[in-house]
Chains A and B, each alone.
Chain A
Amino acid sequence: MATATPKSEAQPVTLSNEEVLRYSRHLIMPEVGMEGQLKLKAAKVLCIGAGGLGSPLALYLAAAGVGTLGLVDFDVVDFTNLQRQILHSTSDVGRKKLDSAAETLAGINPQVAVRKFETKLTSANALELFRQFDIVADGTDNFPTRYLVNDACVLTGKPNVYGSIFRFEGQASVFAAKDGPCYRCLYPEPPPPGLVPSCAEGGVLGILPGLVGVIQATETIKLILGADREQSLIGRLLLVDAMSMKFRELKLRKNPACPVCGPNPTIHELIDYQEFCGVRAEEASSMTTQVPAIEVEELKRKLDAGEDVFVLDVREPHEYQICNLEGHLIPLGDLAKRVHELDSSREIVAHCRSGKRSAEAVEFLRAAGFRKVWNLTGGILAWADRIDPKMPKY
């Protein structure tokens, strides 16, 4: 049979002969079948982010025949993305991720309607956006957006298919499903800024977002197909360690005191998530602006003039291997126990990749009694930009 019509759709959804052929490996399995494939075609999934997690997620959802895929992203493809963001190709560098993604997805499955939302997800637009979709898949990279996505999902009653990654470790779950726990049940409060390293600091194994994004895609498809609750990740947190290739799972409970999904919620509308996560306060007190600093041009002049300047590199040894200023390497984390290697009578210029870790180092050394210590503004990246264009950037 080439076509079928589900009972409750206002506009009957059917499959063309071409679609029957395309989805034949779905149609012959009883867990999907014609009924399931029509559900996929009628489904509307919103992917937050077209990056590391969003790439495999959107690719598989499109291939599987999800009828409408919304993408929210305002970023541009750069070279550092290509190691893991497989929606984008080398030739896409410099293009908007949305354009690159839409093209890739149309190439895989032209039947899918891709809706592009070139915007930052905010408290002002999230609810209206989410209401237009059935399921939200969260592939964001920062805590304010995580909490925003969660709360908006709870308030609009849309399940939140969650994935998160760090280096070679990932987490996945389905939050905010009916009567299921939400992200706030698991993590009532965000960590203070600076205590948890980001991917740019910590790195991420390129295949890991592939693994975790595909788990998100799987859960999304199961939600659409109406899989049993016990089969879904609702109420379970899956932990993936790609290095030891171990998958563990933890039970998640609905927190009766949850401020957004509990029986007595105190959050009835979206809030200021930057403030909730302390990001504003962090920006205001950013140390990089407070410690004594030196520009790369001035350091270059001093070195060329043969002045006695001790260059202290506070990055990690593997970063030193990528590029360096032939400085003395003491990773920030080791500074306290290796401070005796430094001579406080000499002029010291500390640097890292972009200037944040070295600002911490300068603050620490000043507090430890060093008087002639400066932070290299913009770090080795600024050096590569303004002094030595041959130096690789990372």
Chain B
Amino acid sequence: MKIHIPTPLRPYAEKKDVVEVAGSTAGQGLAALTSRYPDLRRHLYTDDGKLRAFVNFYLNDEDIRYLQQENTPVKEGDNLSIVPSIAGGVTLQIAE
């Protein structure tokens, strides 16, 4: 499957926007991704190993929360997108 990495997380994945990984479920794909890029892990998982609530995961155009979560089956050629919340808009109140 192809995993799409959003801009804010690319620094933790050698600046890649798309990473091809093997796996037959969404969870396996993400596990493969974070074992290749360990710095990504804390951005996707909580300390007790759950997917973070403020990051969404889409298999093609469907939220895996409404499929079978991490057990959602994935076929070859599927696209898994990581969609984190971003807040940007006007100028920033907090510098750095």
Contact = CB atoms under 8 A, between A and B. Distances in A.
Contact of B96 (A54, A85, A251, A354): A354
Contacts of B42: 195
B86 A253 contact: no
A128 interface: no
B43 A164 contact: no
B91 A81 contact: yes
A250 B79 CA distance: 12
The DSSP consensus for interface residues of chain B is: loop
Contacts of B39: 333
Interface stretch (B25-33, B56-64, B69-77): B56-64
Contact of A169 (B53, B86, B89, B94): B86
Chain A interface residue bracket vs B: 35 or more
A390 B52 CA distance: 45
Interface string B64-94: 0010000000000000010111111111111
Interface residues of B, number: 33
Contacts of A200: 91-92, 94-96
B7 interface: yes
B61 A140 contact: no
Interface in A258-289: none
A248 B81 contact: yes
Given A191-B85, A200-B95, A354-B95, A49 B7 contact: no
Interface in A240-254: 241, 244, 248-253
A54 B91 CA distance: 11
B96 A166 contact: no
Contacts of A168: 7
Contacts of A139: 89-90
B17 interface: yes
B96 A141 contact: no
B91 A80 contact: yes
B96 A250 contact: no
A198 B91 contact: no
A153 interface: no
A213 B61 CA distance: 23
Interface in A277-311: none
A250 B54 contact: no
Contacts of A379: 96
A244 B7 CA distance: 12
B40 to A, nearest CB: 12
Contacts, number: 143
Given A187-B54, A191-B84, A354-B96, A141 B89 contact: yes
A49 B94 contact: no
B8 A196 contact: yes
Interface in A324-382: 333, 352-357, 379
A54 B58 CA distance: 29
Interface stretch (A7-15, A31-39, A201-209): A201-209
A389 interface: no
Contact of B90 (A53, A171, A354, A356): A53
A175 interface: no
Contacts of A352: 96
Contacts of A202: 7-8, 88
A165 B87 CA distance: 7
A352 B96 CA distance: 9
Contact of A166 (B8, B53, B61): B8
Given A166-B7, A253-B66, A51 B56 contact: no
Given A140-B89, A196-B84, A352-B96, 16 more contacts: A85-B90, A138-B89, A143-B85, A164-B85, A169-B6, A187-B85, A198-B88, A198-B92, A198-B96, A202-B88, A241-B7, A250-B81, A250-B83, A251-B62, A357-B96, A379-B96
13 contacts: A52-B91, A75-B90, A85-B90, A141-B89, A141-B90, A191-B55, A191-B85, A197-B8, A198-B88, A198-B96, A200-B96, A237-B83, A253-B63
Interface of B: 6-8, 11, 17, 39, 42-43, 52-56, 58, 61-63, 66, 81, 83-96
The 9 nearest A-B residue pairs measured at CB: A51-B90, A200-B92, A49-B90, A189-B53, A141-B89, A169-B7, A199-B88, A191-B54, A166-B86
